[in-house]
Each structure stands twice: as structure tokens, then as C-alpha cells.
Amino acid sequence: MKVSIVGTTGYGGVELLRILHQHPEFVIHSIHSTKEEVPIWNEYPHLFGLINKNIEEIDYDRIGEESELVFLATPSGVSSKIVGQLIDKNIKIIDLSGDLRLKNPNDYQLWYGKEPLNKHVTDEAVYGLSEWNSEEIKQAQWIANPGCYPTSTLLGLAPVVKNRLIDLKSIVVDGKSGTSGAGRGLNKGSLYAEVNENFKIYKVNEHQHTPEIEQQLQDWIGEAKPITFSTHLLPMTRGIMTTMYVQLLKEWETDRIIDLYKDIYDQQPFVRVRPRGNFPSVKEVCGSNFCDIGLDVDQRTGRLTIVSVIDNLMKGAAGQAVQNANIMMGLDQTSGLKFTPLYP
């Protein structure tokens, strides 16, 4: 099956190359960005001798005619214009940016500060949280691939929210990310001297993933309360940890909560629920498509602490995008994604 990638020179795009290069069914047909006719290994010398392809001009007609599926790993605001050029072609689209995720155009305008896409496109797009939306993903033409923080957060919150075990007003999400989450573009905040031996909070109470998380909670149970969501930058390359604090509505033992999570995620190959007393660290999932979850009930406060870790470029972006592509194309969802985490 032929696939194209737009935005190949970015971190999400190059992670797609790493996965798709060894995928048993998908064949990388064409790769694109605004740079043209440059061999991809010029941008990424680690691919020398492995992927001998040039970055090509973005010709929407050709992409639509020659490929069955296109991954857009382009910045928000850019993706929406590309989607606009591709929607009348008979091609499946998986967009890694935030452009297709928010159903309410005012939310997009407010949180991204950009012009929203036509509402009929965002209405049609399926939110690609693979573990929870696989039936819709199977039928989808366009996928809004979830953001990195929302993936980690929602997989961690889903069991207690869907089972209405918590006070929705109590949700506090504390997120921390490595710098690859900010992409390959030059920006002062990601410089070594700014990040090394440092730890900072950013986008306080205005992170664009806030409405995405709230929208999914609303979808699941028909109601949602505003959440507190904080994001921090850590001096590491890959990885996200979200620690969530939620008030339980009645008394629960840690063991029972862990059993509930285990039952719910039992059939999900990429979600690993840790045993009592064992909490995941980001390195334990890096390079893989796993989301690892650790849980503990604080008997003194009645609050549950949920720790969820992913690799932002894998389960948080390219890995989940390929998982969704597998589901859309009727393949096993783990095809090409059985990476063991890179440790140490």
C-alpha cells in the first residue's frame, strides 16, 4: 500500500519514516516538505544508505492519484490548508496537527489563534485515539491524530471517567515533555542553554491541548468540567509524563482500581498497566508505542494519582498515526509497531 508523507523533515515526519521504512504493508511512495529535490539523508544523515528518496514538490493531484494514504506532519495552520487541497481526492488523510481535532471552530480560533477549517471537515474527521475509537477509525476517511499530551492524559483518565468514579471538577493534569515535542524548528525556548539543567512551566492555563482533552471527556460521558492542565519542559529529548490527580466519589482500594484498569486495557497491546507500587518512567517507553500507567489511591485524601507515560513522537504522534493507519486499512493494529523500548 503506497503512502505519502508531507512534513518529512520535521521530527514527527522523520519518526514516520523510521516506522514505515520497516512496515510490512505500507510502502513510502513519496515524501514532501517545502524543500524540494533534496535527498532526505541530507536533512537526516542517519538515514544514509537506508532511505534513498528525495523530498518532492507537493503536487496534490499526484499525491491523490498515486497514494492511498497521506500523513500530514505539518504545523497547525499549515495542515488545514493542505487538507483543503486534498479533501476532494480519493485519499485517506491522517493529520498529526491540531487542525482537525476541535469540533467547535471557536475553540480552535481561541486556543490556536488561527483561522479554523470548514466545520464540515472537522465534523467528518474522526478523533484517532486508537484504543477508544477503533470502530469509527475503521470507517474514517480523515483522522485527527490526537495531541501528545491528550493521548497520555486521556488513556490515563478514561477508565475512571467512563465509569463515573470521580468528581469531574477535581481533575488536575500535570504534564512534562521532552524538547522534541516542540518540533525541529528553531525556537529560543528549546535551545540547549535554556533547557539543560533547567525545568520550566510554559503556556500556563492557556495550552491548546486543554479544549481537546475536555472535548473528549464531554464526548465520553456527555458532560465535562474545565480541567486544570499544566505543561513543563524537561531537559530530555523524548518522552511525556502526565501525572493526574482526581477525587474519587467513594472509597477505593488501590488494588481494585488497578484491577479495573487491567480489565479495561486487557485487550490493548499498547497500554501496559503496572502492578501496585510500580510507576513507569519515560525511558521505559521511549522508542516504543506503549503507554504505561501506574496508579495509587491516597487513602488520606481519597484522591487517585494516575501516572501515564508515552514517547511523544511515537504513541504521541507518528506511532499512533501508524496504529490508526493500520486500523483504517484493516491490518493488525500492531503492524510495524512492535518496537521494544530503547533502554537505557
Ligand X SMILES: NC(=O)C1=CN([C@@H]2O[C@H](COP(=O)(O)OP(=O)(O)OC[C@H]3O[C@@H](n4cnc5c(N)ncnc54)[C@H](OP(=O)(O)O)[C@@H]3O)[C@@H](O)[C@H]2O)C=CC1
Residue 75 corresponds to which amino acid?
P
> CA–CA separation, 134 vs 111, rounded Å?
27
Nearer to ligand X2W, 83 or 273 (CB): 83
Continuous H helices in 143-195: 148-162, 192-195
**Contact mark string toward ligand X2W, 218..237, x via CB under 6 A:** -------------x-x----
Rule CB under 6 A: is residue 75 a binding residue for ligand X?
A: yes
Contact between 76 and ligand X2W by CB under 6 A: the answer reads yes
Compare residues 168 and 242 and give the one whose CB is closer to ligand X: 242
Stretch that binds ligand X, among 30-38, 108-116, 209-217, 246-254 (CB under 6 A): 30-38
Site string for ligand X, 93-112 (x = CB under 6 A): ---xx---------------
Which one of residues 67, 76, 231, 326 is an interface residue with ligand X (CB under 6 A)?
A: 76
Cβ distance to ligand X2W smaller for residue 171 or 313: 313
Q: Which is nearer to ligand X2W, 67 or 97 (CB)?
A: 97
Least distance from ligand X to the Cβ atom of residue 299, Å: 36
Q: Which of 20, 70, 148, 317 is catalytic?
A: 148
Binding of residue 181 to ligand X2W (CB under 6 A): yes
CA distance 140 to 317: 18
Give just the sign of the alpha carbon dihedral 209, 203, 73, 80: positive
Number of Cβ atoms within 10 Å of the Cβ of 239: 27
Cβ neighbour number for residue 156 with a 10 Å cutoff: 27
Q: In whole angstroms, how close is the CB of 111 to ligand X2W at the nearest point? A: 9
How far is the C-alpha of 119 from the C-alpha of 102, rounded, in Å? 10
Residue 291 known to be catalytic: no
Q: List the one residue out of 264, 325, 334 whose CA is nearest residue 293.
A: 264
Q: Which partner in ligand X2W, ligand X, none is near 335 (CB below 5 to 8 A by kind)?
A: none
CA distance 236 to 300: 34
Q: Which stretch binds ligand X2W (CB under 6 A): 125-133, 152-160, 176-184, 247-255?
A: 176-184
The three three-digit cell numbers of residue 239, written as one number: 518522552
Length of the chain: 344
Residues 6+ apart with CB under 8 A from 116: 80, 102, 105, 106, 108, 109, 122
Q: Using the rule CB under 6 A, is 10 a contact of ligand X2W? A: no
Positions touching ligand X2W (CB under 6 A) are 76, 97-98, 147-148, 177, 181-182, 208, 231, 233
